[in-house]
């Protein structure tokens, strides 16, 4: 308990500093944080869209609905449970803005570099057992991702920030990409979600949630 309180204090301080970051002048919003959730699991997105800075949470729109449906169907975890038990991060924490064609701008290498220290510090603080990168940009921060077919549906053992952990990549749930809706992507996504659901860190989250529900019910009956 004491160790967890120390981790929580360090994470609280980290997030307070993160949301004040102004390193990248081309970014079109201030940083978006998923909150200081102490967890053995980290979920790494790519960058916020235009709605996330307004709603003050990551994966807050259409892609998020698909992502949380995946977790619900494969792991039995609701959106509220996922958000309250998994640490949410991203390659870049600010909205990069739009391209001339109307799509979301891909963060530049200098912006990714500027933001990498935040992720490294989170890994040092949390010492996660599992990291789930979502989307090609996020996956590429940990393993080579020339083709999604080569990484989705696999579990990797990775080291970053002097810490080793399991890595299970997921495709981006954006409706703009049909990759996860057609073969082989559809089959590989199912394999990846099965790996996530069976991972000991996710199983532990489910067990804790079930225990909390049973405790609440027993207290209600008293």
Domain coordinates of the chain in residue numbers?
Answer: 2-214
| pTM greater than 0.85 (yes/no) | yes
- 186-199: buried (b, 16+ CB within 10 Å) or exposed (e) per residue? eebbbebbebbbeb
Q: pLDDT 10s per residue in the chain (222 long)?
A: 789 999 999 999 999 999 999 999 999 999 999 999 999 999 999 999 999 999 999 999 999 999 999 999 999 999 999 999 999 999 999 999 999 998 899 999 999 999 999 999 999 999 999 999 999 999 999 999 999 999 999 999 999 999 999 999 999 998 788 999 999 999 999 999 999 999 999 999 999 888 877 777 777 666
CA angle 140/143/148 to nearest 5° reads 65
> What six digits make up the tokens of 214?
């049973």
> Which two tokens mark 119?
């992720």
Does the domain made of 2-214 have the CATH classification 3.40.190.10? no
Using CA atoms, how far apart are residues 201 and 87, in angstroms rounded to an integer? 13
For residue 120, give Cα distances in angstroms to 30, 115, 162, 170: 20, 9, 9, 20
Q: For residue 92, give both structure tokens.
A: 């870049």
């Amino acid at each position: 308990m004491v160790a967890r309180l120390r981790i929580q204090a360090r994470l609280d301080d980290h997030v307070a500093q993160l949301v004040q970051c102004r390193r990248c002048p081309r970014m079109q919003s201030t940083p978006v944080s998923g909150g200081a959730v102490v967890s053995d699991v980290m979920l790494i997105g790519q960058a916020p869209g235009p709605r996330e800075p307004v709603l003050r949470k990551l994966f807050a729109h259409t892609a998020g609905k698909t992502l949380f449906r995946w977790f619900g169907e494969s792991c039995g975890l609701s959106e509220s449970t996922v958000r309250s038990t998994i640490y949410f991060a991203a390659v870049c924490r600010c909205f990069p803005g739009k391209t001339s064609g109307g799509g979301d701008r891909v963060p530049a290498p200098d912006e990714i570099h500027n933001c990498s220290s935040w992720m490294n510090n989170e890994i040092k603080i949390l010492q996660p057992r599992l990291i789930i990168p979502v989307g090609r940009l996020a996956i590429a921060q940990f393993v080579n991702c020339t083709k999604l077919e080569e990484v989705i549906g696999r579990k990797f053992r990775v080291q970053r920030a002097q810490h080793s952990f399991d890595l299970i990549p997921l495709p981006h749930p954006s409706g703009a990409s049909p990759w996860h809706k057609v073969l082989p992507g559809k089959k590989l996504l199912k394999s990846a979600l099965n790996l996530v659901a069976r991972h000991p860190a996710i199983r532990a989250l489910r067990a804790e949630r079930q225990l909390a529900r049973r405790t609440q019910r027993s207290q209600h009956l008293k």
